[in-house]
Amino acid sequence: MKKCYIKTICLIIILSFVVGTGICRGGYDYIDITHPFLRKIPIAIPVFKKIYSGDAAERLSKTASDLLSESLEFTGYFKILDREAFLVDMQTVTSLANVNFHNWTSIGAELLVTGGVLIEGNQVEMELRLYDTFKEKLLVGKRYKGLIKNQRKIVRRFCSEIVFILTGDKGFFNSEIAFVSKSSGNKEIYICEFDGYNPRQITHLKSITLSPAWSSDGKWLAYTSYAKGNPDLYIKHLRQKRGAVISKKGINITPAWVPNKFALAATLSFSGDPEIYLLTGTGKVINRLTKKRGIDLSPSWSPDGKHMAFVSKRPGTPQVYIKNISSGAVRRLTFQGRYNTQPSWSPKGDKVAYAGMGNGRNNIFVIGIDGQGPIQLTHDQGDNEAPSWSPDGSLIVFSSTREGPSRIYVMTAYGTDQRRLLALEGEQTEPDWSPGMVNN
Amino acid sequence: MRKKLLINLAMVLVIPGFLFTVSCAKKTIRADTSLTQQAEDEAAAEKAKQAIEEQRLQEETERKATARNMFLNEDIFFEFDSAVLLAEAQAILKKKAEWLINNPDVTATVEGHCDERGTNEYNLALGDRRAASAKTFLMDLGISGSRLTYISYGEERPVDPGHNEEAWAKNRRGHLTIN
């Protein structure tokens, strides 16, 4: 597996070319970080030009340009312009490097992506460029070479380049989402790509398996399973047969990896009371993090690992609290409503998403860590639970019963562009978005 | 004279002897019939006794089975987001404790369950609290903690798959199983 992984990297040769010296992200606010989804940037993505004609190139130029459109649309930043409105057919242009920008500004495109596809044997060479049509400027251009079957990877690398140029963050194009699915009849852990592509079953425990949690290097997954009768905590390496099982008396649940450490917090009730403990990656208890009688659970770490959000029933109803790990100080974060659970700390560190119940229904809320808000992101559409942020903090994945059985949905961090990620047989619940770089 | 005395003596000995024999014979015959009668009576009585015993045993078995079924099937119920044992739940647990006292070889597992409304993880912890409070209550009634284990299933194993208050009320339960 590892060999194959290295090979893939070697095959994708990236050549940057003619990136103008004047490219400065700060110079032009393409995407307003404070209101990134308020105005979507109109972008034109014509079908890539096939350098030599042939059926394979024909197909690939279409699928690759469509994939690029879909991947960029997924971010919520762009309005993908209808190809029917285009004034130019890219297949007829003589040179990809010479663009008549007026053809694009006149149809309202502010950005343009052009691509060229060359196929030789089982290899593909793709030449991709992003232009600012009004400034008539090349923003980024790359040439990639790799196996035809790795075209998705190539397209997504360029998506990362585009989003990086526009926002200063590489985005989530190499990320994955773990979730629970009952497709096989039992609840098992599945993983799919960020856009729902290629879902695959990871556990085959034929039991009840719940609450997947990614380590911050994307190599480990922790989850709870009843495989041996009791709700035990499993810590598993995704590629190697390594791991540990924590099987103490009572519940062993809600794992949350400490950022950039081989350690995790989890809820154990062996003391007779559900409390949060800090554990090594090999499953040994380091120390106890919550000390109040009554239910404490669902830890979620701040990106710097200095604070931990968690749920506590200490006020009589479940509410979100924040603990400062070094000082030990604990403060209550949520005051609205009588049932606030499943906190998820944003990757930028300034917000916590959670599920709050009102009128018997759960909905997704976001609250500032200073307590500002909260803002309700889902409304009147079934139960909406288990929020988890994309690694760049721009999107939130969650589960919803809005169409009947629970399914996985995605929305922007501001609650716009809500859409279903995938639909497998049975229910899908408890999504957890991986860190930025998995599997590349 | 001496001869007459001897005859008289013989008469004295023989006649009662004869008489005795006769009466004896008669008595024997009578005794035989009464013995048969008695055996029959006794057999009937025995049979009746056995029947009664059998019925008693059967009733006992039924009673035990009923008690066992009640122990297994009679769940205790909770209010939303609560692990507090209601009066009715306490009454049921008292019966369960009695049964455990009468069946000292049995070890049992207390299961804690929740309705679907809360979130999965929190419900695992709530189910844990529910099972633990039922276990503690049984221990307070004299059941050794070594005979009781507990497990939370959260909202993962509803008895009623419905999405209404009726179903939720049934699913917020404590259930006992025999190990």
The per-type count for chain B, helices as H runs and strands as E runs, is 4, 4
Residue B134: both structure tokens together: 């039922």
Q: What is the pLDDT of residue A121?
A: 87
The helix or strand, by DSSP H or E, that contains position A280, with its residue range, turns out to be strand A275-280
Between A65 and B18, residue with greater pLDDT: A65
Chain segment B54-79, per-residue pLDDT in tens: 888 888 888 888 888 888 999 999 99
pLDDT at A3: 41
> Residue A440: how many CB atoms within 10 A of its CB?
16
Q: Are strands A78-80 and A123-132 parallel, antiparallel or unpaired?
A: unpaired
- What value does the CA radius of gyration of chain B take, rounded to a whole number of Å? 36
Category of A399 on φ-ψ map: left (φ > 0), alpha (ψ -120 to 50) or beta: beta
**Is residue A88 within 8 angstroms of chain B, CB to CB?**
no
Q: Which residues of A touch B124 (CB under 8 A)?
A: 210, 224, 231, 251, 253-254, 297
Q: Which pairing describes strands A275-280 and A263-268: parallel, antiparallel, or unpaired?
A: antiparallel
Tokens of B71: 């122990």
Q: What is the DSSP string of B121-178?
A: HHHHHHHHHHHHHHHHHHHHTT--GGGEEEEEEETSS-SS--SSHHHHHHHSEEEEEE
Q: Residue A23: what pLDDT?
A: 43
Average pLDDT on B83-96 reads 97
Superfamily of domain B76-178: OmpA-like domain (3.30.1330.60)
- For residues A275 and B76, give the distance between their C-alpha atoms in angstroms, rounded to a whole number: 25
Spatial contact of A154 and A138, defined as CB atoms under 8 Å apart: no
Burial of B169 (0-12, 13-18, 19+ CB in 10 A): middle
Min Cα–Cα distance to chain A from B152, Å: 7
CB-based contact, B156 to chain A, within 8 Å: yes
**Which residue on chain A is closest to B156 by alpha carbon?**
A208
Of the partner residues A226, A339, A430, the one whose CB lies closest to the CB of residue B81 = A339
Q: Which pLDDT value is given to residue B48?
A: 87
B122 touches chain A (CB under 8 A): yes
b/e code A161-199 from CB counts within 10 Å (16+ = b) = bbbebbbebbbbbbbbbbbbbbeeebbbbbbbbbbbeeb
- Report pLDDT for A381: 96
pLDDT digits 0-9 by tens, B116-156: 999 999 999 999 999 999 999 999 999 999 999 999 999 99
Query: How many H helices and E strands in chain A?
Result: 4, 31
From the list A230, A318, A341, the residue facing B151 with the nearest CB is A230
* Partner A, chain B 20-59, Cβ-Cβ below 8 Å: none
> CA of A364: which chain B residue's CA is closest?
B119
Instruction: pLDDT band for B9, please (50, 70, 90 cuts).
Output: low
β strands within A359-435, DSSP E = 361-368, 375-376, 384-389, 395-400, 407-412, 419-422, 428-433
**Which comes out higher in pLDDT, residue A330 or B30?**
A330
Q: Does A113 touch chain B (CB under 8 A)?
A: no
Q: How many angstroms separate the Cα of B4 from the Cα of each of A115, B7, B9, B15, B18? A: 161, 5, 8, 16, 20
Full set of structural domains in chain A with CATH: 2-167 (3.40.50.10070), 176-433 (2.120.10.30)
For chain B, domain boundaries: 35-73, 76-178
- Please answer yes or no on whether B125 and A250 come within 8 Å at the CB atom: no
Alpha helical stretches, state H, A113-269:
151-167
Q: What is the pLDDT along chain A (440 residues), one digit of tens a residue?
A: 444 443 443 344 455 554 443 444 444 467 666 666 778 999 999 999 988 767 778 888 999 999 999 999 999 999 999 999 999 888 888 787 789 999 999 999 999 999 999 998 889 999 999 999 999 999 999 999 999 999 999 999 999 999 999 988 888 999 999 999 999 999 999 999 999 999 999 999 999 999 999 999 999 999 999 999 999 999 999 999 999 999 999 999 999 999 999 999 999 999 999 999 999 999 999 999 999 999 999 999 999 999 999 999 999 999 999 999 999 999 999 999 999 999 999 999 999 999 999 998 999 999 999 999 999 999 999 999 999 999 999 999 999 999 999 999 999 999 999 999 998 999 999 999 999 876 54
**Interatomic CA distance for residues A229 and B172, integer angstroms:** 21
Kind plus residue range of the DSSP H or E element containing A114: strand A111-120
Give the chain A residue nearest B129 (alpha carbons): A273
Closest CA–CA distance from residue B50 to any residue of chain A (Å)? 46
Question: Distance, in angstroms, between B92 CA and closest chain A CA?
Answer: 23
Residues A356 and A376: their CA atoms lie apart, in Å, by: 9
Chain A contact probe: residue of B114, B128, B156 with most A CBs at under 10 A: B128
Q: Provide the 3-class DSSP secondary structure of residue A252.
A: strand
